[in-house]
A and B are shown apart, each in its own frame.
Chain A
Amino acid sequence: MKELFLNDFKLAIPELFLISISIFLLVYGVVYSTSNLKGYPILSNNISRLALITLCFSIILVMNHPIKEAVFFSLILDDFSSFLKVLILICSFTSILISLDYLKEEKLNSFEPIILILISTVSMLLMVSSYDFISMYLGIELQSLCFYVLAACKRDSEFSTEAGIKYFLLGAFSSGLLLFGCSLIYGFTGLIHFEELAKVFSGIEHTNAIKLGILFLAVGFLFKLTAVPFHMWAPDVYEGAPNSITAFFLITPKIAILGLFVRLFLYSFYDFLFSWQVILLISSIASMILACFAAMAQKKIKRLLVYSAIGHVGYMLLAFSCGNLEGIQALFIYLVIYFIMTINMFASILSLRHVKYIADLHQLVRTNPLLSITMGVNLFSIAGIPPLAGFCSKFYLFFAAISSSLYLGALIGVLTSVVSCFYYIRLIKIIYFESPKTWIHYSTIDKEKSLILAITSFFILFFFCYPSPLFIFTHKIALTFII
């Protein structure tokens, strides 16, 4: 008993810190924002800044954790989970940072969304370090519950409430599928712990019941990742949610769910590789094809970005379905670079606050040349033009796919990436060469967003000069699955 208190809780210090601070911030927020004496102050900016500090400290706590590898209760701590935790925390940090100005301008005065972002960040930290079905499911549900509220947080907007309802229904349905998969596997093995499952499945005859359970789990995860046959909710939800929330939605849950997905399937279900590889490959190819054609027909920027995100999920699933060291490494290189490109994209879009349609970007080069250069570079990078970061990640991914003989997947990936260049470059054409019907005046970009834009653009431009840290780091993470 004593040892438990002495050491075991040290393993979860970043999570404990983050959850206690978010509870503290909740109490602080509610007490002050309803205080008659203080004149009912608006606390969204204040709490956002406190949340930023909290996330900074959590990043420091995760990075300097004295214990590198441990399994405690139903959670695990290893290089893989620490890497993803840092990524998730950075992502929450930047998405709050780029939305500071947006919250003020749009008069989203409630402070609760910030607290919900913090709590969902905690749940995502728990997700990436969960090591059995129960902690996995609870992590996913806590995160999803926060997200349903976040999607609907702009109550006077019909789009936002619709997004919340759609997200809730589809999210609950996919969680149901996931839970049914878990219960099938539990029913046929009597085990829920990932490690025990890995031991039991090594070298046994593969029964169809387990395969069915794995199928349900895969479908549940693909729903959450917005991969193609299960993507229908994504465009509406991500378009309807407020811009600052969409930026958070498009990246962070993907990191967490992909991390959990990879851990479960490559560690516990590795012996079933050939049954789930097919599912992932089909979904990946379908995502790549649908995304590249659907994005062409879009008129709204956010919807275009959502379809582009679906395509990126397709590429990531292609790397995942390799099922080997190179594949995981390519997946995480892709994830990091995708994360940076999306942050850059959303920082640009949040800088152009009133822009809804693609056509509104006409002649941005005249009104804000620097921003148009940033957007141009980023769009080239997303399209995969050398020598930008997006090209490196795609190149490495196709390289991994070819070396694990997924020729069809790699071929379709290359082709769809060529096709998708069309609509990315069309955006650049609109920004630079088309004359506008009406000129739109943009307000100046605040310091936080410009900082983020500068850092990410710098990364995108100069990644190819010194890519080895990322490569070595992701290699180290991929190795955690081998040992």
Chain B
Amino acid sequence: MTEFFPIFIYIFVSLGLSLFILGLSFVFSVQKPDPEKLSAYECGFDPFDDARSRFDIRFYLVAILFIIFDLEVTFLFPWAVTLNQIGFFGFWSMMLFLVILTIGFIYEWRKGALDWE
């Protein structure tokens, strides 16, 4: 666990450095706020309508798919490093797991969850 200590220090150093760089721009830049500058940028026009919009369900779908396949990868890591110890039984167990996931993937594919227009 001791090798995590430099990373811990590193996080704080990088946090300090980024805050320092962010602070520099506040110290040295010229700031003259006026309403035109502070309004939202919409290609030079005034905003057309309400900022609310329907959120596309596909973003959720992609996020959910990411979670599923991310979990799959976490299962693959220990399998990959111990493959020489677990033999064919371990190999085929993982293949079964992957087949089940692949069937889920086929389902998504046919349903059109991966289509983007």
Contact = CB atoms under 8 A, between A and B. Distances in A.
B114 interface: no
A34 B106 contact: no
Contacts of B112: 34
Given A1-B89, A4-B89, A30-B106, A23 B100 contact: yes
Interface string A1-35: 10010000000000000000001001100110010
A23 B100 CA distance: 8
- By DSSP majority rule, is chain A's interface helix, strand, loop, or mixed? helix
B52 interface: no
A31 B100 CA distance: 16
A27 B107 CA distance: 7
B110 A30 contact: yes
Interface residues of B, number: 10
Contacts of B107: 26-27, 30
A27 B103 contact: yes
**Size bracket of the A interface:** under 10
Contacts of B103: 23, 26-27
A34 B110 contact: yes
B98 to A, nearest CB: 13
B78 interface: no
Nearest to B106: A27
Given A23-B100, A26-B103, A31 B89 contact: no
Nearest to A19: B100
Contacts of A30: 106-107, 110-111
Interface string B84-117: 0001110000000000100100110011100000
Lowest 3 A-B CB distances belong to which pairs? Answer: A30-B110, A34-B110, A30-B107
Interface of B: 87-89, 100, 103, 106-107, 110-112
19 contacts: A1-B87, A1-B88, A1-B89, A4-B89, A23-B100, A23-B103, A26-B103, A26-B107, A27-B103, A27-B106, A27-B107, A30-B106, A30-B107, A30-B110, A30-B111, A31-B110, A34-B110, A34-B111, A34-B112
